[in-house]
Structure 1
């Protein structure tokens, strides 16, 4: 029902301190999402164990074939049986590897889907001040890229840790069972591996964080420019904005190259270590075979295992960057999830009964003081009563506090001092869903979603029937306009309803009010950008929907407010004048001055 209005809310206002997140809390968050899928992960571990065991038995079969049969010149049935057994083991390895991958993908994708749902749900419940200080591009990155990185953790990193970890342990056991001395030599490389990993750790993390940060800025810049493309083209700023985009793109490109170079250097270092160890083992094993202290089949099995020994180590180390990426992504998501709304929901003890359909709609501002910054109050000790069913017009220059007034009534922000009440109930003691069901907001540029006319009127709520939508559109006078569209009520609108005029979008927003039936209606300069003919249609719709509702109209056009029951004049956060249009003109105050200025300039619009 309601939407944000940030016209007077400076970015960066009332920013809470961000808590530094520990690695343990990050891991705890991941495990909390993984816990419901523990049986699936146990299945993954079981399948991985059987698949690896089958795979590691293959070199032993070859060793037996070489030492017990081929070297002795024996062939025939025994080798055929070993060959069939080898093939059977390969099939078993394939089957369990297939099951392991499918189980892991199911669990991983389910976890990420739940994280996305929780993240989007949490963002949608945040206060307006959160969106004042948080770039939309950063939030898009959280919901899309960061969750995809977490998906890679479960499908790649976790798989590597489980499968390659088990393989490494089993290989070490088999190597020591074949030749303890040669196996001990191969273990000397492990300390070198740990040292290299420790040296690269912080560097890899910093390169990923820098690339992620610059990607967020690039997405935010792109989204901002796409939204304001009309303004950019009107002022011929295409080249200027392209230059700024190029700079952002170059910064991200440089950060990506730095990250890729660090990954290649890290992974190739381990390749070199693995190859050096393999050469050493072949040399030592070859000398043992020549000295007849080791059989050829044992050397073959040992070389196979030493190659496989570095394969899981290499795989695990190659996942290091993904693990670092996951850590950063989880920290970013966790920071959002742990951000508490500046406007909290009342507790069960604080909450008072409030049924939107049964309220009268009286609004009281009692000694209200509020500022987006503590040192800059916008409203100062404001006292105002709006009677149930009364239509109020609000005028004033920019920065006078008009939009702040409605933001507080919608509880987008909480007052610093005083209270805002509906029917004598402090809105801080009303559940957010109940409050927004009672207060309807129509903005200067109503937001329409991608979807049909019907879906945009009922905001995708299936419990509101098509007949109710059509009846509401008839009531506000939008029905003839909708029938002229190619698909009528099923016409698919593009993002923000770009296929409709400003007046047509406003009529649809009025139809929403009729469908959702709020008792209090707020119009924030809803007719400011309309031509006189379209304004007449919207004015008629306003007259229809305001019947029986408390209506607050913030407007520049005199024609919108001059017939209001009362007009409020705001200056510097204070209510300086109030009365009917005729009374205010007779008083000769600020309103009369605004009126004369509008008449002299030949406009029907108040300045500011």
Structure 2
């Protein structure tokens, strides 16, 4: 599969690319259906049986009329036989239709379940650059709504194509079997039917798109207001926002009414056309019956078939909107599936396998240059050697390149030039699974999943024993906080751990590091936005988890890294200074200027007992 379109492309070009891939997207879709081909064959057989049994009923009535069975000339045995055959055909039609509906639902749900699983797996393998371009909300829509639309394609559109298409074919077959001339008269209306269906197709499609557009705008406005509800209430904007929402709601209401009106008009037009067709056949057939050229039972059967003839056409036309939605969803899913990870595992011949436990933690940045996409360089010729077990602070103003530097270590992105080595091995030569076992990350906003505390610490890996989790939490100081909770380690957290404070969430993320034991640790603004008391707790936990590990700390508060073995000072994507805190202050350079602007007048250093204590002002 080819690479997906860049987000920088114009929308028209993206749509053109998607249209070119539509054939391949359909092949992808039917590739998921291929394992269920036996089920679809069984669905086809059920459809043929159910429709044939249903269409047999008017023919049985025709036999009863034309053979004078109802007059008793053939005896009651014939009448009972016809009645029994009618009942059997009705029951068979019902059972076969029931089986067909269940089989199509089972196949459709199984296909979509596989599609969702593969889509989720594919998304999780994509590089961070992909998530920079694609909004998370859009990905959620792809995973939920678009896959559900694919399900509707199989359970509605595909079912309608089989059932209604076969119904039309079999009705024509029964009609020609009864009387060829009358069947040919019935086909006179087919061009009219086709013209009406074509005329309404564009109208229905435009109505559908306008309605969905207004619905999307209303939902987007609603989501925006719910997210900013505190601001709305603080500035008493409830009435104004209500007015604006009412306008969106009324537009959606009007478009919905227009869509319904067009749909009802289309359906009633077909009903009228069906009645005209019945009247036409009654007139032609009635004249033939009066002239003894046609039996009355045949005319009755023709009237029944004509009435049934318009229903499948109507149903097929009604699936047009669903078909359009399926094409849109297929285009969206194809764009996702066609994206290849920019950061991928090395080939077998280039891969270097290492034991994560035996990694020393030496880091070498050699002439590293990096840019996001086609944008300007954010790292410009970084040369840096970090010793195993060294505690390194990285400071600088916003946009200096601090996060970009450390994001290269776990290969969230790859360097544009130069190389990044761990123990003299290029990170691009390490399998991602091994690399991620070596490099651990604690983010500024630690992410906690919906689930128990113990599962959040061990990340749902049940092979990690509970004792190891408890020991890790004790070590970083999270155990007293967890013990106070009603269910302790089994306490179920809400989304993102919103029931815990920022410091408590951070302590759990530190415990996670101890459980997974990476040799290299990255802390990205881990103590930002914390009060001084909580920061001291985090500092103690930081001392614990960094012991024996190569540690890189991006510092928002300079006090966080004043005790570091070395401080790296970055500016405009380059390293402008490095050294210990006291030496950098003495030099009076850029770092000293940052300290003055931060308003802090003292440093912190670990005491003999390992706890951080203030030192004299620098």
**Given the two structures, how large is their TM-score scaled by the length of structure 1?**
0.90
Number of residues of Structure 1 aligned to a counterpart in Structure 2: 594
Whether the aligned pair in 2 keeps the contact of 1:153 and 1:322 (CA below 8 Å) is yes
Q: How far apart are the structure 2 equivalents of 1:247 and 1:485?
A: 47
- Structure 1's unaligned 5+ residue stretches are 1-10
Which residue of the partner structure matches residue 607 of structure 2? none
Partner residue of 2:434?
434
Q: Tell me if the contact between 1:168 and 1:312 (Cα under 8 Å) persists in the aligned partners.
A: yes
Contact preservation (8 Å) 1:361, 1:387: yes
What does the per-residue CA deviation read over 1:53-98, in whole Å, with 9 as the maximum and x for residues that have no partner? 1111111111111111257553633212211221112111122222
CA deviations 1:134-163 (Å, max 9, x no partner) are 122221211111111111111111111112
Which piece of structure 1 moves more, 242-251 or 67-76?
Answer: 242-251
Once structures 1 and 2 are overlaid, which stretch shifts more, 593-602 or 369-378? 593-602
Query: 1:368–1:418: 8 Å Cα contact kept in structure 2?
Result: yes
Query: Mean Cα displacement is larger for which, 266-275 or 170-179?
Result: 266-275
1:271–1:325 distance in 2 versus 1, CA, 3 Å: farther
Mapping of 1:340-379 within 5 angstroms?
Answer: 340-379=340-379
Change (3 A) 1:234 1:450: farther
When residues 124 and 267 of structure 1 are mapped into structure 2, their CA distance, relative to the original with a 3 A threshold, is farther
Matches within 5 A, 1:568-579: 568-579=568-579
Aligned to 1:38: 37
- Cα deviation code 1:500-553 (max 9, x no counterpart): 111100000001111111111111111111111111111111111111111110
Partner of 1:126: 126
Separation in structure 2 between the aligned mates of residue 273 and residue 350 of structure 1, nearest angstrom: 70
**Structure 1 residue aligned with 2:158:** 158
**C-alpha contact 1:453 1:493 (8 A) present in aligned 2:** yes
Kept in 1: contact 2:439–2:522 (CA 8 A) = yes
Q: CA deviation at 1:175?
A: 0.3
Change (3 A) 1:226 1:481: farther
Could you tell me which residue of structure 1 aligns to residue 19 of structure 2?
Answer: 21
Equivalents in 2 of 1:273, 1:531: separation in Å? 76
| 1:483–1:599 Cα change, 3 Å | same
Q: Which moved more, 1:259-268 or 1:307-316?
A: 259-268
Aligned counterparts, 1:41-80, within 5 A:
41-70=40-69, 72=71, 74=73, 76-80=76-80
CA distance 1:346–1:255, change in 2 (3 Å): farther
Does the Cα contact within 8 Å between 2:395 and 2:555 map onto a contact in 1? yes
Change (3 A) 1:473 1:229: farther
Paired residue secondary structure (2:55): helix
1:184 corresponds in structure 2 to 184
Aligned to 2:67, what secondary structure does the other structure show? helix
Q: Distance in 2 between matches of 1:424 and 1:324?
A: 55
Q: Distance in 1 between matches of 2:386 and 2:244?
A: 48
Q: 1:76 to 1:156 in 2, by over 3 A?
A: same
Give the superposition deviation at 1:253: 5.5
Contact between 2:70 and 2:79, CA under 8 Å: does it hold in 1? no
Task: Look up the match of 1:469.
Answer: 469
- After the TM superposition, which residues 210-225 of structure 1 pair with which residues of structure 2 at under 5 Å, given as runs? none
Contact 1:137 / 1:217 at 8 angstroms: preserved in 2?
A: no
- Which residues in structure 2 correspond to 1:478-489 (within 5 Å)? 478-489=478-489
Residue 278 (structure 1) shift: 2.5
Shift of 1:478: 0.5
Matched with 1:288 is: 288
State the structure with bigger RCO (CA 8 A, min sep 6), 1 or 2.
Answer: 1
1:520-559 correspondence runs (5 A)? 520-559=520-559
Q: How high is the TM-score relative to the length of structure 2? A: 0.89
Q: Is the 2:559–2:603 Cα contact (8 Å) retained in structure 1?
A: no
Distance in 2, matches of 1:309 and 1:210, equals 31
SS of match in other structure, 1:21: helix
C-alpha displacement at 1:256, in angstroms? 5.0
Q: Encode CA deviations 1:384-405: one digit per residue, 9 max, x unaligned.
A: 1222211110111111111111
| More displaced 10-residue stretch of structure 1: 296-305 or 374-383 | 374-383
Counterpart Cα distance in 1 of 2:239 and 2:344:
44
Greater displacement, 22-31 / 446-455: 22-31
> Closer, same or farther in 2 for the Cα pair 1:392/1:158, shift >3 Å?
same
Assess if the C-alpha contact under 8 Å between 2:18 and 2:331 holds in 1: no
In structure 2, distance between residues paired with 1:242 and 1:133: 32
**Cα distance per residue 1:561-607 (max 9 Å; x no partner):** 00111001111111000000111011110111111222369999xxx
Match of 2:566 in 1: 566
For the residue of structure 1 that corresponds to 2:446, the secondary structure is: coil
Distance 1:581 1:145, change over 3 A: same
Q: Note the C-alpha offset of 1:374.
A: 2.9
CA distance in structure 2 between the aligned counterparts of 1:401 and 1:567, rounded to whole angstroms: 15
Is residue 363–residue 421 contact of structure 1 (8 Å, CA) maintained in 2?
yes
More moved, 515-524 vs 129-138: 129-138
User: How far off is 1:348 after superposition?
Assistant: 2.6
Q: Take 1:594 and 1:252, find their aligned partners in 2: how far apart are those partners?
A: 54
Residues 473, 29 of structure 1: alpha-carbon distance in 2 compared, 3 angstrom cutoff: same
Partner of 1:518: 518
Mapped to 1, the partners of 2:409 and 2:233 lie a distance apart of: 36
- Which residue does 2:589 correspond to in 1? 589
SS of residue in 1 equivalent to 2:18: coil
Structure 2, unaligned stretches of length 5 or more?
Answer: 1-5, 605-618
Distance 1:100 1:336 in 2: 33
